[in-house]
Amino acid sequence: MTTPDASPSVTLDLGEDYPEVREGVRRICADFPGSYWRELDAREAYPSEFVTAMTEAGYLAALIPEEYGGAGLPLRAAGVVLEEIHASGGNAGATHAQMYTMGTVLRHGSEAQKARYLPKIAAGELRLQAFGVTEPTSGTDTTKLKTRAVRDGDEYVINGQKIWTSRALYSDLMLLLARTTPLADGMRPVDGLSVFLVDMRAALERGMTIRPIKAMINHNTTEVFFDDLRIPAEALIGDEGRGLRYIMDGMNAERILVSHESLGDATWFVRTATKYANERVVFDRPIGQNQGIQFPIAKAYAQAQAADLMVRKAAALFQAGQPCGEFANLSKLLSAEAAWEAAEACMQTHGGFAYAREYDVERKWREARVQRTAPISTNLILSYVAQHVLGLPRSY
């Protein structure tokens, strides 16, 4: 299919599947079965043991260059790590954040910041898992966020509030987006926002308060309040006023990574539904013999296979340093939708037993749903495609 814009020219090598990475992650995940995630879900607890195992095996440092103690792997290899976690029945929330949040420091941090933080993040001595962008009143309209950072000598004073800051209670560092220059007439809204690497250990009880949110899924998500929090000026990443550009710069990588999670979910749902449909006998035959049961599973499988090709294309373009915004967005859209189709098929196939926690189907169904909302909602992706790919009028 041709796209309205000239297709970027890159020879796509869809062959590299990182079987050794897949196998290594599967081996670790085998020690963390559904009962582990179920129990955490019930307690709304953080997967400390899993994160430790993944860190020790080096997977959390997949994208950190070797010179800073990481594995320096391509984006697709990191995506494969996340995909396998989800395909095993687990959840990569506590694993993915570090992978892409770290990218902002890597691309825009000073040499001193990189040397100070990246080796410790790679070694698991420091956790960079909190990403403070979303705010309660501005939502997706990030340029309207209200958290302020005001320079005062060699410090910044932070005031404001973030919402849905996942893992804030389990992270040592937070990447924080705040406005340093108030929006004024004639100013581009994307300007005047700055990004900071906040040492949360130093900030707690000194102007930063964290309050957990009771949520539908166990993402250890929170509200974070800043009340005259003072941070050193050296916490600023890159240039003042360019923070939103830095964050946006990492969004293609983030979209490709989380697409892999949806692919993993789709794999889990299709496999789990197929197994149950073959085993469950009603009216003297396996329910999977009924086309009403077969077709939704087969359709979800087809959608997941198609999404997989798109994710590979986006990752290949990203790795080749070519424009990949369109394909990263399409990957996110198609993989989230495929996972949701598969989740619904799996729920329906399991009948009443889908609601029994011990089957893990309802937990995975709840978890898969979030990809249609976060980190970017389906509507906003469709807006991007309509405006930037198809050339339709800007809608907001």
Ligand X SMILES: Cc1cc2nc3c(=O)[nH]c(=O)nc-3n(C[C@H](O)[C@H](O)[C@H](O)COP(=O)(O)OP(=O)(O)OC[C@H]3O[C@@H](n4cnc5c(N)ncnc54)[C@H](O)[C@@H]3O)c2cc1C
What are the catalytic residues?
254
- Which range touches ligand X (CB under 6 A), out of 163-171, 184-192, 203-211, 254-262? 163-171
262 lies in the site for ligand X, by CB under 6 A: no
Six token digits for residue 53: 């195992």
In the complex, least distance from residue 237 CB atom to ligand X, rounded to whole angstroms: 16
Question: For ligand X, which is the closer residue by CB, 283 or 396?
Answer: 396
Q: Pick the closest to residue 303 from 255, 254, 270 (CA basis).
A: 270
Q: Pick the closest to residue 131 from 258, 318, 37, 228 (CA basis).
A: 258
- Which range touches ligand X (CB under 6 A), out of 27-35, 105-113, 357-365, 368-376? 368-376
Helices (H), 182-324: 200-203, 243-249, 251-279, 291-319
Spatial distance between the Cα atoms of 12 and 330, rounded to a whole number of angstroms = 17
374 lies in the site for ligand X, by CB under 6 A: yes
165 lies in the site for ligand X, by CB under 6 A: yes
250 lies in the site for ligand X, by CB under 6 A: no
33 lies in the site for ligand X, by CB under 6 A: no
DSSP states of 327-370 = HHHHHHHHHHHHHHHHHHHHHHHTGGGGGSGGGSHHHHHHHHHG
Spatial distance between the Cα atoms of 39 and 41, rounded to a whole number of angstroms = 5
At 244, which amino acid appears? L
CB 69 within 8 A of CB 118: yes
Q: Which of 91, 166, 267, 329 binds ligand X (CB under 6 A)?
A: 166
Give the pairing of strands 128-132 and 173-179: parallel
Q: Which of 13, 48, 139, 353 binds ligand X (CB under 6 A)?
A: 139
385 lies in the site for ligand X, by CB under 6 A: no
396 lies in the site for ligand X, by CB under 6 A: yes
Six token digits for residue 98: 């570090």
- Which range touches ligand X (CB under 6 A), out of 26-34, 47-55, 114-122, 213-221? 213-221
- Which range touches ligand X (CB under 6 A), out of 42-50, 118-126, 278-286, 366-374? 366-374
In the complex, least distance from residue 168 CB atom to ligand X, rounded to whole angstroms: 8
Binding site for ligand X (CB under 6 A): 131-134, 139-140, 164-166, 215, 217, 219, 221, 370, 373-377, 379-380, 383, 395-396
